[in-house]
Structure 1
Amino acid sequence: MATVLVPLAQGCEELEAVTIIDLLRRAGIEVISAGLDDQPVRASRGTVLIPDTDLDSALQQEFDMLVLPGGLPGADHLDKDPRIQSLVKAMATKDKYIAAICAAPKVLVSSGVLENKKATAYPGVLDALGRAAEAEAVVQDGKVITSRGPGTAMDFALKLIEVLVGKAKCDEVEAGLVR
């Protein structure tokens, strides 16, 4: 079974976090949500999320994919966390999937993972870091997958399902969503 880690930082975008976790679980993927500390996470619009565990505990296991939800200041908290930076670099070294949406691709820029890779993000995020952003809703370049924002969260999550467990399972999950 594929395993995915979704770190949840204070101020994350709840629509992205919940959509990613929900759709991947519908596909039978083991998803672990981990707070940067052991507190409930107050997301960017005030929704309180209760992570499955804390990041230090989650880091005791291996994952097939790391998915970083965006939102501000959540993406800034992820970017400044040395454990997240180390994890992003380790996942890249191990040739594992790394995905980020909205403002979270900034973490991939600062970790060096987006070097020579196509990517997208919330409008202006990559530009502010001296990077051009692709216009597509979801961009995959090798094992790095990025997406633009809350409005693309469902397409992003479906792409993650497709790369982890295949097109047939992705189609099955999408059919159940009645899009």
Structure 2
Amino acid sequence: MVAAVVFLADGTEEMEFTITVDVLRRAQVDVHVVGVDLAQPYALCSRGVKIIPDVTLSDAIDWTKYELAVIPGGLKGAETLRGNKSVLDVLASFYSQKKYVGFICAGTTAAKAAGIGKDQLATSYPAFKGELEDYYDYSEERVVVDGTLVTSRGPGTAFLFALTLVELLVDKEVAYKLKQEMLTSDPL
């Protein structure tokens, strides 16, 4: 079974996190949620939703079993994740092993902090363009895939981001079936 890790911190954007985890799990991806520097046993997300991680970063985690690592947005959550050396080390390791790394919204700032994908195509929430365009070949597309680097713009692109990850990790037919089941595209 394909496996993915999605990082979670206080201030993470709920939609970007939840939609990504949900869609990956619908595609039968084994998703583990890793809490990072949480003040409580749960993450208090950007709009007040509380989410309990499966494990915390301090737990013993076998990173070799994952094919994808995801950083959702939410300014405070992204700041925590990009400021955590262990998270950055995991991201850099995945990228160097040609495993997928996904970033949405403010999460793309963690890709830069990890030294991932210099001069590759990438996108983010528009407010971070100035911070990222000197490092990336910045795009304003909703979802950008350049090699194993996958980036997206914000809450409104979360379904497309997650379905793109499904297409890359599982296959195009599963992504298409999920689009139809979740009514995210017009039926044929």
TM-score by length of 1: 0.95
Change over 3 Å in CA distance of 1:58–1:137 after alignment to 2: farther
- Which whole-Å deviations, capped at 9, do the CAs of 1:97-118 have from their partners, x for residues lacking one? 0000000110111211120210
Question: Would you say 1:158 and 2:163 are equivalent positions?
Answer: yes
Question: Would you say 1:69 and 2:72 are equivalent positions?
Answer: yes
Give 1:26's aligned residue. Answer: 26
1:129-144 to 2 correspondences below 5 Å: 129=132, 130-131=134-135, 133-144=138-149
| Deviates most, 55-64 or 67-76 | 55-64
Give 2:55's aligned residue. Answer: 53
Assess if the C-alpha contact under 8 Å between 1:161 and 1:170 holds in 2.
Answer: yes
Question: Which consecutive residues of structure 1, in runs of 5 or more, have no partner in the other structure?
Answer: none
Assess if the C-alpha contact under 8 Å between 2:37 and 2:80 holds in 1.
Answer: no
Q: CA deviation at 1:173?
A: 1.1
1:81-100 to 2 correspondences below 5 Å: 81-100=84-103
Out of 148, 156, 177, which is 1:172 matched to? Answer: 177
Q: Secondary structure at the match of 1:158?
A: helix
The residue type equivalent to 1:118 in the other structure is L
Question: Would you say 1:35 and 2:35 are equivalent positions?
Answer: yes
Q: CA deviation at 1:85?
A: 0.8
Q: CA deviation at 1:60?
A: 2.6
Assess if the C-alpha contact under 8 Å between 1:34 and 1:58 holds in 2.
Answer: no
TM-score by length of 2: 0.91
Question: Which consecutive residues of structure 2, in runs of 5 or more, have no partner in the other structure?
Answer: none
Give 1:149's aligned residue. Answer: 154
| Deviates most, 79-88 or 120-129 | 120-129
Q: Secondary structure at the match of 2:73?
A: coil
Q: CA deviation at 1:37?
A: 4.2
Q: For residues 63 and 7 of structure 2, what CA distance do their matches in structure 1 show? A: 14
Identity of aligned residues (%): 36
Give 1:7's aligned residue. Answer: 7
Q: For residues 18 and 58 of structure 1, what CA distance do their matches in structure 2 show? A: 24
Q: For residues 79 and 176 of structure 2, what CA distance do their matches in structure 1 show? A: 34
Assess if the C-alpha contact under 8 Å between 2:144 and 2:150 holds in 1.
Answer: yes
Q: For residues 56 and 101 of structure 1, what CA distance do their matches in structure 2 show? A: 24
Q: For residues 37 and 123 of structure 1, what CA distance do their matches in structure 2 show? A: 27
